[in-house]
């Protein structure tokens, strides 16, 4: 019995002396709980709305004040005409536009009835519905407060209009996110595992003594996965169009070029992971932990980034899939051109440059 207790004690000490094991046992659960606890939320915070106030009277200003003071919304733009609404959505200045009819306040006072319109960017249908419901709730509370001070009941009719996705199809949200997730995981994970396997089996040294230099070896390793990932991207787009009915309103050529840029970026990230991974298992673990969860949680794929705490919003800036999803939605659903997405394209290009430079440098240092 003493021998067994001594052996158990030795195992405890072995675990406690290994920082990596302690991080996996205690650090990862705490980090995942905090991330999931803050990310998975149906609450709206600081969502961008635009106001088109054709009345500009006391009543309409009071409703706008209530919307902004609720903490759920912030002004993204103030519009002058209805013709600027679609441009506002394309420029990502707002997720919802609140439109007050002319003589809104006077109609409330005289007829005890007025109308307003809620126009939402339904490329993200869940967000569109939540924002509309939140605005309706605040307007309903305003009407109740108003009815307490007057004898005749007052009504505000709020009509809805969904832009880009009138049927509120969920596929409009899930196809771009799924495409980013698949390309990110396949491109980065398979590349990192392949190079890690070469190092683990000792065949990488055989390649290094060949006439090829390290840069040429990397190009040779990445090229097959680039074309295979490009085929995957094409299949996803074809299925999205023909099976799920997702439109491709923007330039198909630009869509292909941006997809190629994202694939190259993911491949370079896979090479970077392989430089720090000693074997295939470590490469797999890093790829899954560093790519799968952040892509699902912090890219805006499922949960709106605006609803997250500030620290997670800042962290999402470092998530390349976030920008690719924005590009896909803008190109496919909104049909806009390069003039609206050049910032996201430039950021993906910067990620590609940084990952590639670091990967080449570390690849030479570790294997020469």
Distance CA 359, CA 367 (A): 12
Burial of 110 (0-12, 13-18, 19+ CB in 10 A): exposed
Distance CA 174, CA 172 (A): 6
- Using the 3D structure, point to which of 116, 135, 163 is the last residue of a domain: 163
Residues of the domain holding 67:
47-163
Strands (E), the chain: 47-53, 73-78, 96-100, 113-121, 155-163
Residues 186, 107, single domain; the answer is no
Note the pLDDT of residue 119: 92
Note the pLDDT of residue 368: 46
Residues 100, 191, single domain; the answer is no
| Sign of the CA dihedral running 83, 86, 87, 92 | positive
Q: Residue 251 in contact with residue 244, Cβ under 8 Å?
A: no
Residue 146 Cα distances to 149, 156, 186, angstroms: 6, 11, 57
Q: Comparing C-alpha atoms, which of 318, 319, 304 is closest to residue 123?
A: 304
Residues 123, 143, single domain; the answer is yes
Q: Comparing C-alpha atoms, which of 124, 171, 181, 127 is closest to residue 296?
A: 181
Residues 237, 336, single domain; the answer is yes
- Using the 3D structure, point to which of 163, 196, 224 is the last residue of a domain: 163
Q: How many domains does the chain have?
A: 2
Residue 295 Cα distances to 20, 81, 290, 350, 354, angstroms: 24, 38, 9, 18, 19
| Sign of the CA dihedral running 344, 347, 349, 355 | negative
Secondary-structure breakdown of the chain: helix, strand, coil percentages, each rounded to the nearest 5: 70, 10, 20
Distance CA 190, CA 31 (A): 26
The pair of structure tokens assigned to 281 is 């298992």
Residues 80, 175, single domain; the answer is no
Residues 274, 350, single domain; the answer is yes
Q: Residue 69 in contact with residue 142, Cβ under 8 Å?
A: no
Phi (first) and psi of residue 193, to 5 degrees: -70, -40
Residues 152, 179, single domain; the answer is no
Query: Would you say residue 36 lies in a domain?
Result: no
- Give the full edge-to-edge strand order of the sheet including 47-53: 73-78, 47-53, 96-100, 113-121, 155-163
Beta bridge pairs of residue 119 = 97, 161
The pair of structure tokens assigned to 143 is 């009407």
Cα angle, residue 293 at apex, residues 292 and 297 outer, rounded to 5°: 125
Residues 132, 156, single domain; the answer is yes
Note the pLDDT of residue 208: 61
Query: Would you say residue 79 lies in a domain?
Result: yes
Note the pLDDT of residue 62: 92
Helices (H), 202-251: 203-208, 214-242
Residues 313, 293, single domain; the answer is yes
Residues 200, 123, single domain; the answer is no
The model's pTM is 0.82
Query: Would you say residue 5 lies in a domain?
Result: no
CATH number for 117: 3.40.1710.10
Residues 188, 103, single domain; the answer is no
Query: Would you say residue 19 lies in a domain?
Result: no
- Using the 3D structure, point to which of 163, 192, 208 is the last residue of a domain: 163
Distance CA 77, CA 90 (A): 13
Query: Would you say residue 278 lies in a domain?
Result: yes
**Per-residue pLDDT in tens (0 to 9) along the chain, 368 residues:** 777 677 677 666 766 776 766 665 666 566 656 665 655 566 677 889 999 988 888 888 999 999 999 888 888 888 888 888 888 888 888 899 999 999 888 888 888 888 999 999 988 888 888 899 999 999 999 888 888 877 778 888 888 889 888 888 888 888 888 888 888 888 888 888 777 777 766 666 666 666 666 677 777 778 888 888 888 888 888 888 888 888 888 888 999 999 999 999 998 888 888 777 777 777 777 777 777 777 777 888 877 787 777 787 888 888 899 999 999 999 988 888 888 899 999 999 999 999 888 877 776 544 44
Residue 57 Cα distances to 10, 104, 194, 239, 302, angstroms: 77, 7, 66, 50, 39
Residues 130, 239, single domain; the answer is no
Distance CA 347, CA 317 (A): 10
Note the pLDDT of residue 343: 93
């Amino acid at each position: 019995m003493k021998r067994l207790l001594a052996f158990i004690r030795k195992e405890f000490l072995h675990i406690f002396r290994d920082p990596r094991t302690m991080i996996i046992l205690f650090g990862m659960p705490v980090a995942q709980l905090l991330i999931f606890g803050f990310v998975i939320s149906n609450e709206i915070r600081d969502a961008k709305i635009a106001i088109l106030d054709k009345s500009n009277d006391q009543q309409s200003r009071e409703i706008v004040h209530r919307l902004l003071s609720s903490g759920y919304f912030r002004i993204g733009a103030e519009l002058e005409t209805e013709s600027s609404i679609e441009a506002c959505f394309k420029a990502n200045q707002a997720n919802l536009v609140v439109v007050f009819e002319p003589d809104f306040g006077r109609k409330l006072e005289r007829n005890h009835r007025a109308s307003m319109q809620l126009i939402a960017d339904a490329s993200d249908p869940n967000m569109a519905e939540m924002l509309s419901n939140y605005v309706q709730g605040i307007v309903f509370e305003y009407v109740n407060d108003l009815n307490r001070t007057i004898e005749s009941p007052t009504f505000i009719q709020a009509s809805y209009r969904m832009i880009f996705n009138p049927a509120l199809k969920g596929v409009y949200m899930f196809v771009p996110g799924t495409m980013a997730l698949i390309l990110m995981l396949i491109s980065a994970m398979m590349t990192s595992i392949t190079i890690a396997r070469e190092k683990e089996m000792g065949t990488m040294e055989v390649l290094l003594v060949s006439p090829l230099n390290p840069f040429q070896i990397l190009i040779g390793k990445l090229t097959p996965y680039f074309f295979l990932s490009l085929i995957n991207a094409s299949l996803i787009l074809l299925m999205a169009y023909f099976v799920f009915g997702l439109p491709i309103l923007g330039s198909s050529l630009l869509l292909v070029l941006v997809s190629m840029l994202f694939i190259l970026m993911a491949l370079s990230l896979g090479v970077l992971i392989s430089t720090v991974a000693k074997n295939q298992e470590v490469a797999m673990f890093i790829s899954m932990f560093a790519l799968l969860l952040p892509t699902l949680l912090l890219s805006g794929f499922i949960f709106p980034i605006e609803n997250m705490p500030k620290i997670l919003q800042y962290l999402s800036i470092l998530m390349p899939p976030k920008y690719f999803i924005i590009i896909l939605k803008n190109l496919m659903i909104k049909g806009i051109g390069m003039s609206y997405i050049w910032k996201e394209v430039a950021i993906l290009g910067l990620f590609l440059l940084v990952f590639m430079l670091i990967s080449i440098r570390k690849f030479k240092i570790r294997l020469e």
